[in-house]
Amino acid sequence: MSHYNFKKITVVPTAKDFIDVVLSKTQRKTPTVVHRQYRIGRIRTFYTRKIKFTQQNCHDKLSNILLEFPKLDDVHPFYADLMNVLYDRDHYKLALGQINTALHLIDNVSKDYVRLMKFSDSLYRCKQLKRAALGRMCTIMKRQNQSLQYLEQVRQHLSRLPTIDPNTRTLLLCGFPNVGKSSFMNKMTRADVEVQPYAFTTKSLFVGHMDYRYLRWQVVDTPGILDHALEERNTIEMQAITALAHLRAAVLFLLDGSEQCGHSMEEQLSLFASLRPLFANKPILLLLNKIDVRRPDELSAEHQAKLKELVDSGIPVMPISTMTEEGLATCKTDACDRLLAYRVDTKLRGKKGTSITSRLHLAQPAPRDQKQRPPCIPAAVAAKREAMTTGDKSRTLRDEEVDAGEEWVLDLRREYNLKNEEERYDVMPEIIDGKNIADFIDEDIARRLDELEEEEGLREEAGEYEEEQDPNEALTLQTRRQVAAIRHQRQLIRRNRIDKHTRNHPVAPRKLRIRQEAAEAAADDNYEYDDDDMDMDTSDILDEEGFGRKRKRGRSETPRPTKRGRDSSKSRVRSASRSSSRVPRDVSGLSRTADKTVANKKAKLVQRKFIRHGKAGEADRHIATKMPKHLFSGKRGMGKTDRR
C-alpha cells in the first residue's frame, strides 16, 4: 500500500467519555424493567444481556481504534521512521498494546460474570453480579486514560501530516535553512508555503504537485538541516533526514552563493558531503541559488574549484534564481528527465524488467538464396528526395498566385483525375430529381422563336392589328344599364367618403333624422300622411332611361301627395329617407320586386324550420327526459326513494 489517508481515523475519546457512551447505550438498547415475581431464568437472562451488551460495545470501540491506527511493521519504512521521529516508536506501540490488553481483560470479565450469573438464585444476586461486572469494566477503562489521550494526540498530528506517496515521481528539496527551498517550491508547484527571512520557517514536510510530460509529480519541501552529528539533530531536522533516506526521488540540494542565509559556502559544501551517503542510487542536482545577488563567476577561486570537482564527479551544478526565475525551467526539465531515466533503469535491472525482456522477440529474417535484393524506391519518391536535398522545392499554388498577381484564378479542374484528359473542361450536367436538365431543352428553340417573330412582323405589316373594336358594341341594353348603375353607385360611394372626411359637423343618427323630418312635415297644416309614408319606396331603382338609380338623401324632390281633398300632384315631405349610398341588405343583389318577395318568403320558411327542430341548450330549464337515469336507478334502502 503506497497511499495512506490518516484523516479518516476516528476520534479517540477519553476514559470518562468512553464509559459514559457505553453505559448510556446499554441503558437505551436493553430492557429496563424486571420484577421479583419473574421466573429466575428470565431474571438471569435480563442481567446477562446487559453484561454481554456492555462487553460487546467496549470490544467494538477498542477494536476500531486498533484497526484504524497504522501498524509500524506494515506501513512504508518512510512513514515508520517518520512516526518514530515524531511520536517515539516504543511509546506508540506501548499505547496500542495497553488498549489491546484492556480489550482482552474486558472480554474475560464478561465471561466470568456470565458464568457466575448461572448460579444466582434471586433478583438481588443477579443485580449485584451485573453491577460488579460493569464496575470492573469501567475500572479497566479508567486505567487506560493516559493511553487514550496519547493516541488522540497522535491522531490529531497524523491528520495534519501531508499525504506523501513514497513510490511516485518525487523531487526532494534539501539544504541549509533560509537558502530558498520554500521559494523554489512555490515557483515550481501550486503550493503556498510560508516564506520568511529567518531560519527554520518550515518546521515540517510540505508537499506540492506539478505536471511534466502529462505526468503528475510531487515536490517535497523539507525543513532546513544543520551541519552537525546525527545524534544532535532535533525532530525538525530528522524529518528531512527520514525523507532523504527512504523516498526514491531526485534530490535537489540548494546552495546559497550569496551566503545571505548566514552560512558560508564551506559549511554548505561540508553539509552536502556529510549527507552524500543518503543520496546513494538517486539522481542528484546541485542548485546554486540567488545568482541575482552573486553570479557564479564572482565566487572565490577556491569555491569555484570545489564546484568544478563536483561537476567532474558526475554531479551537475545549475545556477538559478527564485527571484528572477532564471534557470528554473531548465532545472525542472533536467531533474525530471534524470529521474525518469533512473526509474526506467531501475525497472530494467529488477525482476519486472527481466520478465518484460524475456517476452520480447526481435525477428531477423534469414536469406533464402544468394541473390541481392536492393530496396525499390519509386521514381517519384526519389525525385522528391533529390529535390529536397538540392533545395529545389516544388512550386505551390501560392507561388503561382504571387507570380500571376491579380490575373490569377483558382483552377480546381486541373487536379481532376480523368480517364480522358480532353474531357477536363467539358460542361458538367445539371441534375434535378435524378434527371438531366439538358434532356428537356429543345435544341431548335432559337430557330422557332425567330420564325414566330418573323410571322408576327408580317401580320403587323399587313395591318391586322390596326382595327379597333368598341368593347361596348357587343353589350346588350340590359347589360349597359347595369354598367351605368354600377358606375353611378361608385360615384356615390366616392362622394360619401369625401363628405365623411371633410365635414366637421356631427351626423345625427338615422332614427333621430326620421323624427326631425316627421316633425317638420307635421308642422305643415296643409298635409296629412298615411302610415305607409314612413316607408321608403325602393321599387323604382332605375330612372326612366334605366341608366341610373334615383337615390335621394334627406327629403324627396317629388314627394307623393296623400292629403285628402287636395290635388295629388302636390308635393309632400317623406317621413323617412334611406341613405343613397347604401342598399338594404335584404334586397342587395336583387333587381326585381318579385325576386325580393320570393327571397323573403324562403327566409321565413328556413327560420321556422330551425325554430321547430331546435335542440335544448344550457339555458333551457325544461327536462327533456322524464326520469333521468342518474336520479332514479340503483339499489334503494330503507330511506328515501326520490334520490339514490
Instruction: Indicate which CATH number applies to the domain containing 42.
Output: 1.20.120.1190
52 and 139 in one domain? Answer: yes
**Do 222 and 324 share a structural domain?**
yes
Percent helix, strand, coil in the chain, to 5, is 50, 5, 45
Cell digits for 358? Answer: 524475456
425 domain-assigned: no
Residue 568: its pLDDT value, please?
A: 43
Domain boundary among 321, 350, 379: 350
What CA–CA distance (Å, rounded) separates 328 from 254? 12
- Looking at the structure, tell me whether residues 245 and 97 fall in a common domain: no
Within this chain, do residues 346 and 222 fall inside the same structural domain, yes or no?
yes
Q: Are residues 135 and 198 in the same domain?
A: no
For residues 313 and 234, state if they share a domain: yes
Q: Out of 8-22, 117-131, 265-279, 447-461, pick the least confident.
A: 265-279
Cα distance between residue 509 and residue 511, in whole Å: 6
C-alpha–C-alpha distance, residues 113 and 49, integer Å: 11
Q: What is the pLDDT of residues 598-634, one digit of tens each?
A: 888 888 887 776 666 665 555 656 666 677 676 666 6
Q: How far apart (Å, rounded) are the C-alpha atoms in residues 644 and 628? A: 12
Q: How many CA atoms lie within 13 A of 553 on its CB side?
A: 9
Per mean pLDDT, which range of 201-215, 236-250, 482-496, 533-547 is the poorest? 533-547
pLDDT digits 0-9 by tens, 154-193: 888 888 777 777 788 888 888 888 888 888 888 888 777 7
What CA–CA distance (Å, rounded) separates 98 from 144? 7
Residue 375 resides in a domain: no
pLDDT averaged over the chain? 78
Provide the whole-model pTM: 0.48
pLDDT the model gives residue 97: 93
Q: Please indicate, yes or no, if residue 437 is contained in any of the structural domains.
A: no
| 116 and 167 both lie in a single domain | no
pLDDT tens for each residue of 337-377: 988 888 888 877 777 667 777 778 888 888 888 888 888 88
DSSP secondary structure string for all residues of 423-491: GTTSPPPPEETTEEGGGG--TTHHHHHHHHHHHHHHHHHTTTT-----TTTT--HHHHHHHHHHHHHHH
Q: Check whether 550 has a pLDDT greater than 50.
A: no
* Range of weakest confidence among 30-39, 278-287, 432-441, 545-554: 545-554
d(CA 564, CA 546): 33
Q: Which residues make Cβ contacts (< 8 Å) with residue 425, sequence separation at least 6?
A: 413
Range of the domain at 171: 163-350
- Examine residue 452 and state whether it is found in any structural domain, yes or no: no
Do the beta carbons of residue 238 and residue 223 sit within 8 Å? no
For the range 265-271, what are the long-range contacts, defined as Cβ-Cβ under 8 Å and sequence gap of 24 or more?
265/299, 265/300, 265/303, 265/306, 267/176, 267/227, 268/175, 268/176, 268/179, 269/303, 269/306, 270/227, 271/175, 271/176, 271/225, 271/226, 271/227
584/606 Cα distance (integer angstroms): 20
In a domain, 391, yes or no: no
Q: Are residues 26 and 89 in the same domain?
A: yes
Q: Hey, what's the cell of 457?
A: 412582323
Q: Kindly report which listed range (394-408, 456-470, 501-515) carries the lowest average pLDDT score.
A: 501-515
Instruction: Write out the H or E segment, with its range, that includes residue 171.
Output: strand 170-175
Inside any domain, residue 379: no
Measured CA to CA, the distance from residue 44 to residue 56 in angstroms comes to 18
Domain annotation covers residue 449:
no
**Which CATH number belongs to the domain containing residue 201 in this structure?**
3.40.50.300
Q: How many domains does the chain have?
A: 3
Contacts of 147 (CB under 8 A, 6+ apart): 94, 95, 98, 99
187 and 215 part of one domain:
yes
- The tally of CA atoms less than 13 A away on the side-chain side of residue 365 is 3
Residue 387 counted as domain residue: no
Return the minimum-mean-pLDDT range out of 81-85, 199-203, 311-315, 401-405.
199-203
pLDDT at 508: 61
Q: Are residues 126 and 230 in the same domain?
A: no
Residues 6 or more apart whose Cβ sits within 8 Å of residue 620:
none
* CA 303/CA 316 separation, integer angstroms: 15
Helix (H) or strand (E) holding 206: strand 206-212
Q: Are residues 141 and 199 in the same domain?
A: no
Q: Examine the fold and report which residue of 157, 192, 209 is the final residue of a domain before the chain moves on.
A: 157
Which of 335, 350, 365 lies at the terminal end of a domain, its last residue? 350
Shared domain check, 153 and 173: no
